[in-house]
């Protein structure tokens, strides 16, 4: 299971919070040196901007997006005249991890056209947001989530890699998931069997106590919660297919009987699995 697929499996635990979104115009010779505590996304409306990170120089022009990860020091300046852009500060949380997006090399200049439809949707909603239209704040959050998801999708298909070289995931960030990949693959292939944390820890080459700590550091949730989420995802897919009985689905997901499965399903989705057979 690759990291993008893993992220999609855990999407119910993802939450995006917007701290501010605003349109701003900077004059010629504007210069800014800063690092943000959260993620910062710019949409360049007019003009050109140069971004200096370490000794590298990147340029963004009208229609481009610029995505900064938290705590990245940069210097930005206008090029050949004024510039105008919309900036949005946000956090993207998975479980209790604020930096899960750093597992992906996303930060950089995202050229015009790569996520065109998603940008247009975001801009349309932003125009309503700045006019205080009803529910526009919630819709802006939804549109930004769609936009970020599309960027991750492009990353997953190899169509985009962030070019801010010092933002590439550190060894520690990628190492957490790399060491757990055998566990992810095993769980994905053996959901129909009893899955014991002790055995998964052995597979990862760790003690049970350290494995639980390591797993939570990587994903922001315990191994048990992760397994439970995957089972509920599969249950939902199997129920929607309408090809299996509750007994068969319980067997496929390693539950000892339909009652145990139904109880777990209702706890998660607030409706019993029988609801899907109506």
Do residues 179 and 146 both lie within one domain? no
Do 144 and 8 lie in a common domain? yes
Domain boundary, last residue among 118, 143, 167:
167
Are residues 159 and 266 located together in one domain of the fold? no
Domain that residue 112 falls in: 3-167
- Number of domain units in the chain: 2
Place of tokens 């800063």: 34
pLDDT at residue 278, rounded to an integer = 64
Q: What is the CATH number of the domain that holds 240?
A: 1.10.10.60
Instruction: Check whether residue 161 and residue 32 sit in a common domain.
Output: yes
Do 191 and 53 lie in one domain? The reply is: no
CA atoms within 13 A on the CB side of 137: 5
**Residue 77: strand, helix, or coil:** strand
224 and 95 fall within a common domain: no
- Residue 167's pLDDT is 45
Total Cβ atoms within 10 A of residue 199 = 14
How many Å apart are CA 99 and CA 69, to the nearest integer?
A: 9
Per-residue pLDDT of the chain (278 residues), as tens digits, is 777 888 888 888 888 999 999 999 999 999 999 988 899 999 999 999 999 998 899 999 999 999 999 878 899 999 999 999 999 999 998 887 877 888 788 999 999 899 999 999 999 999 999 999 999 999 999 999 999 999 999 999 999 999 886 444 444 454 577 788 899 999 999 999 989 999 999 999 999 999 999 998 888 899 999 999 999 999 999 998 889 999 999 999 999 999 999 999 999 999 999 887 76
CA dihedral 129, 135, 138, 144 (to 10 degrees): -40
Asked if 129 contacts 140 with a C-beta cutoff of 8 angstroms, the reply is yes
Q: How would you class 103 by CB atoms within 10 Å of its CB: exposed for 0-12, middle for 13-18, buried for 19 or more?
A: buried
CB atoms within 10 A of CB 209: 10
CA distance 21 to 41: 9
Q: Any idea what the CATH number is for the domain that residue 37 is in?
A: 2.60.120.10
Q: Are 62 and 23 in contact (CB under 8 A)?
A: no
Backbone angles phi, psi at 243, to 5 degrees: -105, -5
Tokens (6 digits) for 114:
């790569």
* Domain edge (last residue) among 133, 167, 201: 167
Regarding whether 131 and 15 lie in a shared domain, the answer is yes
Pairing of strands 108-110, 14-26: unpaired
Q: 95 and 8, same structural domain?
A: yes
* 273/140 same-domain check: no
Q: In whole angstroms, what is the distance from residue 32 CA to residue 77 CA?
A: 6
Q: Cβ of 45: how many Cβ atoms within 10 Å?
A: 15
Same domain for 49 and 182, yes or no, is no
Give the integer Cα–Cα distance in Å for 70 and 214: 22
Look at residues 167, 199, 218 and tell me which one is the last residue of a structural domain.
Answer: 167
CB neighbour class for 255 (10 Å; exposed up to 12, middle 13-18, buried from 19): buried
Can you tell me the distance from the alpha carbon of 237 to that of 133, in angstroms, rounded to the nearest whole number? 36
pLDDT for 11: 82
Q: Which residues of 59-75 are buried (b: 16+ CB within 10 A; e: fewer)?
A: ebeeebbbbbbbebebe
């Amino acid at each position: 299971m690759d990291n993008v697929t893993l992220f999609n499996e855990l999407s119910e635990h993802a939450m995006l919070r917007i701290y501010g979104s605003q349109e701003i115009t900077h004059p010629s010779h504007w210069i800014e040196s800063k690092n943000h505590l959260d993620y910062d996304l710019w949409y360049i409306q007019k003009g050109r901007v140069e971004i200096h990170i370490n000794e590298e120089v990147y340029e963004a022009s009208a229609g481009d997006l610029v995505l900064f990860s938290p705590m990245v020091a940069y210097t930005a300046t206008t090029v050949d005249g004024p510039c105008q852009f919309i900036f949005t500060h946000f956090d993207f949380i998975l479980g209790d991890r604020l930096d899960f997006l750093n597992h992906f090399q996303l930060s950089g200049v995202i050229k015009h056209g790569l996520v065109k439809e998603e940008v247009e949707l975001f801009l349309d909603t932003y125009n309503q947001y700045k006019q205080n239209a009803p529910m526009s704040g919630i819709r802006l959050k939804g549109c930004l989530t769609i936009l970020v998801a599309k960027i991750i999708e492009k990353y997953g298909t190899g169509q985009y890699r962030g070019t801010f070289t010092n933002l590439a995931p550190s060894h520690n960030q990628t190492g957490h998931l790399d060491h757990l990949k055998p566990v992810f693959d095993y769980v994905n292939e053996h959901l129909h069997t009893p899955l014991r944390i002790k055995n998964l820890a052995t597979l990862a080459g760790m003690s049970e106590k350290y494995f639980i700590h390591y797993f939570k550091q990587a994903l922001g949730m315990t191994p048990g919660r992760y397994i439970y989420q995957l089972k509920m995802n599969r249950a939902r897919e199997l129920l929607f297919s309408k090809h299996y009985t509750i007994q068969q689905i319980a067997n496929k997901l390693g539950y000892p009987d339909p009652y145990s499965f139904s109880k777990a399903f209702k706890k998660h989705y607030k409706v019993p699995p029988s609801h899907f057979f109506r």
